[in-house]
Amino acid sequence: MKQHRPVPENFCIKSATVSKTPTGKYFVSVLFEYGEVIQPVKVENVVGLDFSMKELFVSSDGVTAAYPRYYHQSMEQLQKEQRRLSKCRIGSNNRNKQRIKVARLYEKVSYQRKDFLHKLSRQIINVYDAVCIEDLNMQGMSQSLNFGKSVHDNGWGIFTSLLGYKLSEQGKKLIKIDKWYPSSKTCSCCGKVKEELSLSERTYRCECGFVCDRDVNAARNIKKQGILVLA
C-alpha cells in the first residue's frame, strides 16, 4: 500500500471506500472525523473570477489562468487509439489490452487536469481572502450551448470545489453570486446595463467612454457584487 499522508492520532475513522479504476488500479478512500476551530480571516484582498471557455477564468485584476487544455492536446491520439479499439473483436485479449490503453490516456488527462487545478487554486487562496464567482450550472451550459467537450476539459466545477474547501480550511470565503446577474452586460465603470451583447463582442464599450476586455469587465462586476454580499 502507498499511504499518501500520515494520520494524526486524534482522527477518528468513520468509513473506507474501495474503488477500482478502468486501468485496473485500486484505491481506498478513508473518511476521518476530527475537531478543529477555524478562526475567520479578516477580508482585505478580494478577487472576482469570470469563467472563460478558453482560459478557464479571467480575474478582476486582468490575469488569465492560461489553462493548457489537456484533453484537446491528447484528442488526436485518443481518436487514433479509439479507432483501433473499435476494430478489435469483442471479448478478445487484444480488445481488453486496447481498452486499457485508451483508459490510461483518459486517466493521464484527468491527472494532468487535477494537478493543474490543485496548484492554481492553492496560488489563489495564498493571495486572496475572498474569491467571488458566478454560481453557474456547468451541465446546463454544456448541453444548451453545445460546448460539452470544452466545459469538461476546463474542469470549472472541480476548480470551484477545490477553491471552496481550501478557502474554508483557512477561514476564508468563497462567494457565489446569482447566475442571472448580468455581469457581462453591466459597465464596471458607470454601472449601466446593455440590453444586448453578442458572444462575438470580445471588447466591452460603454456610452460613458469606458472600453475594456469583455471578460475583465465581467470579473470586475462579479467582484463588486461579491463585496456587496460580504457586506
Sorted by sequence, the CB contacts under 8 Å of residue 10 that are 6+ apart come out as 34, 35
> Of these residues, 50, 81, 129, 153, which one is catalytic?
50
**Candidate list 129, 134, 153, 207, residue with the active-site label:** 134
Rounded to an integer, the average pLDDT of 165-175 is 94
Confidence of residue 199 (pLDDT cuts 50, 70, 90): confident
The pLDDT tens digits for 20-42 are 999 999 999 999 998 888 899 99
pLDDT digits (tens, 9 = 90+) for 79-131: 999 999 999 999 899 999 999 999 999 999 999 999 999 999 999 999 999 99
pLDDT at residue 145 tops 60: no
What pLDDT, on a 0 to 100 scale, did the predictor assign at position 14?
A: 95
The reply to whether 215 belongs to the active site is: yes
Per the structure block, which three cell numbers stand in for 231?
457586506
Predicted structure pTM score: 0.86
Catalytic residue, candidates 81, 129, 153, 215: 215
* Annotation marks residue 33 as catalytic: no
